[in-house]
């Protein structure tokens, strides 16, 4: 049996509108869209450079129906590069590029093979003795367990299952073509090339069951390095897996502990130091960073009292580190230090605004009204932004703490 290397990718989402990001900064959204295309270009270049035997894309080449032919022509141009290098491409359609979703088409090279939607089928590479089994989505919502209908393994060949699936389940992704690890093991294949989940995951090594993740993060829910995997096969078995990191822009959630910050200046110094460490790791990529300030700090009320000014200062700190660090959102979750109780000259306890506000936060009637108001606001948010941010009501405690800090910060400012 021949030794060879193939590449397993998934979830290119070419043409993604990046709706949530575009509402915050249209230019950054355009740059992330461009980064997604450059990531696929780089993957194609690496496939050619290492002499890959074939490339698998396990669903969601496109994010949805094309607005025009531009994105289809881009994909056709890239797979034509692979065709000229003698590298075939194997595709399944996923929920985003299902047969019923993509209404336009551009002719692709004959070396690009797409699985049917009506049944599972097998593509064979005789010279490698490799059999690839798969089935495409006919529409967005596939509830059937496709894995159970996949063909039996071809004896004496290296067998690969290509499947777009939620598999064992993932909180951030809809449940499509659900299956279990046992279902996959039961087919007798050597490798399962999965798609749909956007995080890299090795679900099993006997046989190998792998999600490569997507090529390029698209929101703050898709943080960290993104790419595909190169799978080396020797003597009919997987010898090694190697991640191919090809993303050109990256989301990151940065938590900065301000427990040691006595004032705003020290707080900004701590944030800038955290940016420097992050920039070194990113190696020049565009970064969209959600900063979360936490810890017990004397600067708490001052920081929260002027969110707009603090946001601008943190963005300036980011740009002092690198011009391509963008503050995606600031979350202030610091706490004020607990102060000893004070009494007035006549011995009565002093009125503490912080205590009064804290008691209001825990009032059941207030919380019920606040949750209802947040639910109404969330229902009116544009779809992309709502999906990206999650339920506003889930952040009630953080929003209350921030409101307290704004009030107390301004009260403190008036008494200075």
Residues facing residue 124 across a β-bridge: 131
Distance separating alpha carbons of residues 157 and 382, to the nearest angstrom: 50
Asked whether the predicted pLDDT for residue 110 surpasses 60, the reply is yes
CB 132 within 8 A of CB 122: yes
C-alpha distances in Å from residue 383, one per residue of 18, 118, 176, 359, 409: 11, 32, 21, 35, 34
Strand, coil or helix: what is 232?
A: strand
Asked whether the predicted pLDDT for residue 247 surpasses 70, the reply is yes
Mean pLDDT across the chain, nearest whole number? 88
Asked whether the predicted pLDDT for residue 171 surpasses 50, the reply is no
CB 39 within 8 A of CB 86: no
**Which structural domains are found in the chain, ordered by start?**
4-245 (3.60.21.10), 249-338 (no CATH), 350-416 (no CATH)
User: pTM for the complete prediction?
Assistant: 0.84
Residue 293 has phi, psi (to 5 degrees) of -90, 130
Q: Which residue has the higher pLDDT, 397 or 385?
A: 397
Print burial letters for 97-107: b (CB count within 10 Å at least 16), e (below 16). Answer: bbeebbeeeee
Distance separating alpha carbons of residues 392 and 395, to the nearest angstrom: 5
Which pair of structure tokens corresponds to residue 317?
């700190």
CB 128 within 8 A of CB 4: yes
**pLDDT of res. 376:** 74
Distance separating alpha carbons of residues 275 and 294, to the nearest angstrom: 16
Distance separating alpha carbons of residues 184 and 233, to the nearest angstrom: 19
**Neighbour-count burial of 235, counting CB atoms closer than 10 A to its CB (0-12 exposed, 13-18 middle, 19+ buried):** exposed
Asked whether the predicted pLDDT for residue 416 surpasses 50, the reply is no
Q: Report pLDDT digits (tens) over 42-60.
A: 999 999 999 999 999 999 9
What does DSSP say about strands 201-205 and 55-58: parallel, antiparallel, or unpaired? unpaired
Asked whether the predicted pLDDT for residue 357 surpasses 50, the reply is yes
Q: Which residue has the higher pLDDT, 155 or 168?
A: 155
Residues of the chain with pLDDT > 90: what percent? 71
Distance separating alpha carbons of residues 287 and 290, to the nearest angstrom: 10
């Amino acid at each position: 049996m021949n030794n060879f290397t193939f590449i397993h990718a998934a979830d290119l989402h070419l043409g993604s509108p990046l709706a949530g990001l575009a509402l915050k900064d249209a230019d950054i959204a355009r740059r992330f869209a461009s980064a997604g295309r450059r990531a696929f270009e780089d993957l194609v270049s690496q496939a050619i450079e290492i002499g890959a035997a074939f490339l698998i894309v396990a669903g969601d080449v496109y994010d949805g129906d094309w607005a025009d032919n531009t994105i289809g022509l881009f994909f056709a141009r890239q797979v034509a590069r692979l065709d000229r290098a003698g590298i075939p491409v194997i595709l399944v359609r996923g929920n985003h590029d299902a047969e019923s979703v993509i209404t336009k088409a551009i002719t692709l090279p004959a070396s690009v093979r797409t699985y049917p939607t009506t049944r599972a089928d097998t593509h064979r590479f005789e010279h490698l003795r490799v059999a690839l089994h798969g089935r495409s989505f006919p529409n967005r919502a596939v509830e059937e367990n496709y894995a159970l209908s996949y063909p039996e393994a071809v004896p004496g060949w290296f067998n690969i299952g290509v499947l777009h699936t939620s598999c064992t389940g993932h909180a951030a992704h809809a449940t499509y073509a659900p299956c279990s690890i046992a279902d996959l093991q039961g087919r007798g294949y050597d490798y399962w090339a999965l798609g749909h989940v956007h995080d890299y995951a090795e679900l099993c090594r006997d046989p190998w069951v792998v999600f490569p993740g997507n090529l390029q993060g698209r929101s703050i829910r898709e943080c960290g390095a993104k790419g595909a995997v190169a799978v080396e096969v020797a003597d009919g078995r997987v010898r090694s897996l190697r991640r191919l990191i090809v993303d050109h822009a990256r989301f990151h959630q940065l938590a900065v502990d301000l427990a040691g910050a006595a004032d705003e200046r020290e707080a900004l110094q701590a944030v800038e130091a955290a940016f420097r460490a992050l920039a070194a790791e990113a190696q020049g990529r565009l970064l969209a960073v959600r900063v979360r300030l936490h810890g017990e700090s004397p600067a708490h009320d001052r920081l929260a009292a002027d969110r707009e000014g603090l946001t601008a200062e943190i963005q300036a700190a980011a740009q002092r580190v690198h011009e391509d660090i963008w503050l995606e959102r600031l979350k202030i979750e610091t706490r004020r230090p607990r102060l000893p109780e004070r009494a007035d000259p006549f011995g009565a306890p002093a009125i503490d605004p912080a205590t009064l506000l804290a008691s209001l936060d825990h009032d059941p009637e207030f919380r019920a009204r606040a949750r209802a108001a947040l639910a109404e606001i969330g229902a009116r948010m544009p779809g992309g932004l709502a999906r990206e941010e999650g339920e506003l009501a889930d952040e009630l405690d953080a929003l209350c703490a921030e409101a307290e800090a704004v009030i107390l910060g301004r009260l403190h400012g008036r008494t200075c």
